[in-house]
A and B are shown apart, each in its own frame.
Chain A
Amino acid sequence: MRLQLIQVAYLASSVLFIFSLYWMNHPRTARRGVFAGVAGMTLAILGTLLQPGISHWGLIGGAVALGFLVGIPLSWVPLTAVPQRTALSHAFGGLAAGLVGIAKYYLLLGEDPGHLTRFLMTAIVTEVILGFLTFTGSLMAAGKLQELRWIPQRPVTYPGQNAVNLALLGIAVLAGIGLILRPEELSYLFPVVIVLSLVFGVLLIIPIGGADMPTVISLLNSYAGLAAVAMGFVLDNKLLVIAGALDGSSGLILSIIMCKAMNRSFGNVLFGAFGQVQAKAAAGEAKIAKSETAEGAAQILEEASLVVIVPGYGMAVAQAQHRVRELYDQLTKRGVDVRFAIHPVAGRMPGHMNVLLAEADIPYEKLVEMDDMNPDMPQVDVVLVIGANDVVNPAARHDKASPIFGMPIIDADKARTCFAIKRSMNPGFAGIENELYFAEHTYMLFGDAKAVVGEIVKQLAGTGGH
């Protein structure tokens, strides 16, 4: 009876999780999704605690309390730090899966080795490999995003890197297969698999640059979900399988969207070591970019009827989103239509820019996707590029030699006038010179994004009301 009750609770919990994700299809219903998720999780935990043979309440209570102690402050991070928080929580997810895998293996090895069937061992090995590589990989990603001093920001590469990585993974998989076939005799291989997975996670992330972080985070999200699925297979728990599959497919879809938005494949992101500064300089004549003052920009913005702002990671770094909101206010007050064109890979994780702009109280109807904005670009009076670079580089459309050739971009160069705020003429993360800056109707606004936008706002406010 009690067992059936638990299964019913798990079933209800699965349904709630599906609804939780379903309600994310619109900002209006999205908060309902969170409540459904919380309800589902509560049901699942209560159901599990009903299981016969659960004791050690002190240990469980302590771990739960500690989880709250760490989890609550982690939810207060500034929104610019959300990518590293997300990476950190993928690490926690991987760790939990890996630890449960270890515990289950040694438990059965000691008490009941007959039950270490090939199927169960396959699930355990998968769980441990995925769990631990997600753990260290996500920690590395979080460290890179947090810009910790002892983690190199630029991709670290060396000759034969991919061969080393693949060999390492190959050995881990071979050891895993050994374990699957002979779980008792070859039990010494288990720690080998753990260590190799941990090391592989680190090595996998080292060569990846900041611009690829959105894809990598999505991929790690998927791995964390699949580790939970493997745990479900190990523990014979359908709820784990369902919730893990939902998470896994979510990460997969986000990774695919990110890859498409960069016109690259998974393999290329993981093993391509993008983001090294291109050695060969642009051949030929030195090109000159024109610059403009905040005052001049303010005048042109004021007279525009349609202004499109293209935000990028630079806006997040400079914490300029609130100044951007003031600019938005000043311009809408004058009857200017202001929209934001968001590239899928702008920022350091999927949807990063949307959250930052929402934080600054920009209504979400004004946040327009790249594909919806581009057809209207020729009608746009002014494009203001704030801290974005590669996503507006026209070279992606026509220069076959460019590393970003083929990547879909926001056609900022097709607008009548383009302003680009930039600290200096240094190339962006991909290390590619941006043709947009040398275009005829492009004017550079040099300086920190926050300061420059603030200056424009001041100019507009000064002339306010005409």
Chain B
Amino acid sequence: MTRRVVLCAFAGMGWALAAQAGETAPAVPSSGSTFIDLLFVFVLATFIGLGVITRVSRLLHTPLMSLTNAISAIAIVGSLVIAGQDHSTVINVLGAVAIFASMTNIVSGFLITDRMLKMFKQQKEGDSK
């Protein structure tokens, strides 16, 4: 399974590179970093993610999922930019709906994760009776 994932990743990179090779304009307009920079960040972050997540206690897989839910609502950063800048009203409203969706995930994700984690208790000293 791991091999297949790696193959898919390479295929994706190949396609992206081919797409970029055909460009005449700079790959990413109006910004400092190129496509390759972002790809570096993505690949390395995925490795960190795989390393960190495999160490997560199996007891906590449900809270883990709600926590990553909240973290992936980082999409709010993009939504804020779309909603906040001066564009047509339709675009701004699309951004606002995206803010709403992300904010819901952030709020409910962090709150419910904490609520669940509070329930995990060790055996108390006098518990064995």
Contacts and interface: CB of A to CB of B under 8 A. Distances in A.
Contact of A240 (B1, B15, B78, B113): B78
Contact of A354 (B5, B41, B60, B127): B60
B: interface residue count bin = 35 or more
A199 to B, nearest CB: 20
B128 A99 contact: no
Interface string B64-98: 11111111111111111111111110111111111
A93 B101 contact: yes
Interface string A224-256: 110111011111111111111111111111101
Interface in B1-60: 1, 5, 15-16, 19-20, 22-23, 25, 27-33, 35, 37-38, 41-42, 45-46, 48-50, 52-60
A365 B33 CA distance: 48
Contact of A82 (B19, B66, B68, B79): B66
A281 interface: no
A27 interface: yes
Contact of B52 (A21, A26, A31): A21
Contacts of A247: 49, 68-69, 71-72
A358 B121 contact: yes
Contact of A92 (B52, B104, B119, B129): B104
B75 A93 contact: yes
Interface string A23-66: 01111101101100110110011001101011110011011101
Contact of A250 (B32, B58, B65, B115): B65
A22 B80 CA distance: 28
B55 A246 contact: no
Nearest to B102: A96
Contact of A86 (B16, B28, B30, B69): B69
Contact of A53 (B35, B56, B69, B86): B86
A250 to B, nearest CB: 5
Contacts of A14: 45
A122 B103 contact: no
A228 B75 contact: yes
Given A22-B52, A53-B85, A350-B61, A355 B116 contact: yes
Nearest to B54: A253
Nearest to A255: B1
A41 B95 CA distance: 18
Nearest to B113: A34
Contacts of B109: 71, 75, 89
Contacts of A75: 107-109, 111-112, 115
B83 A60 contact: yes
A438 interface: no
Interface hub of A99, A224, A240, A243 (most chain B Cβ within 10 A): A99
A363 B27 CA distance: 54
Contacts, number: 401
B41 A242 contact: yes
Given A99-B98, A225-B68, A352-B62, A44 B77 contact: yes
Nearest to A260: B1
B63 A30 contact: yes
B58 A351 contact: yes
Given A64-B103, A247-B72, A333-B129, A107 B87 contact: yes
A235 B81 CA distance: 9
Interface hub of B33, B37, B101 (most chain A Cβ within 10 A): B101
A253 B97 CA distance: 30
A100 interface: yes
Contact of B129 (A115, A256, A332, A365): A332
Nearest to B23: A117
A366 B97 CA distance: 44
B25 to A, nearest CB: 6
Contact of B23 (A53, A62, A90, A119): A119
Interface in A62-93: 62-64, 66-68, 70-72, 74-75, 77, 79, 82, 85-86, 89-90, 92-93
A82 B59 CA distance: 15
Interface of A: 14, 17-18, 20-22, 24-28, 30-31, 33-34, 37-38, 40-41, 44-45, 48-49, 51, 53-56, 59-60, 62-64, 66-68, 70-72, 74-75, 77, 79, 82, 85-86, 89-90, 92-93, 95-97, 99-100, 102-104, 106-107, 110, 114-115, 117-120, 122, 180, 217-218, 221, 224-225, 227-229, 231-254, 256-257, 259, 265-266, 332-333, 342, 344, 349-352, 354-355, 358-359, 361, 363-367, 369
22 contacts: A20-B67, A20-B71, A21-B71, A27-B117, A34-B114, A34-B117, A44-B77, A54-B81, A59-B93, A63-B97, A103-B82, A119-B16, A234-B78, A236-B28, A239-B74, A240-B75, A240-B77, A245-B49, A246-B45, A252-B50, A349-B65, A363-B121
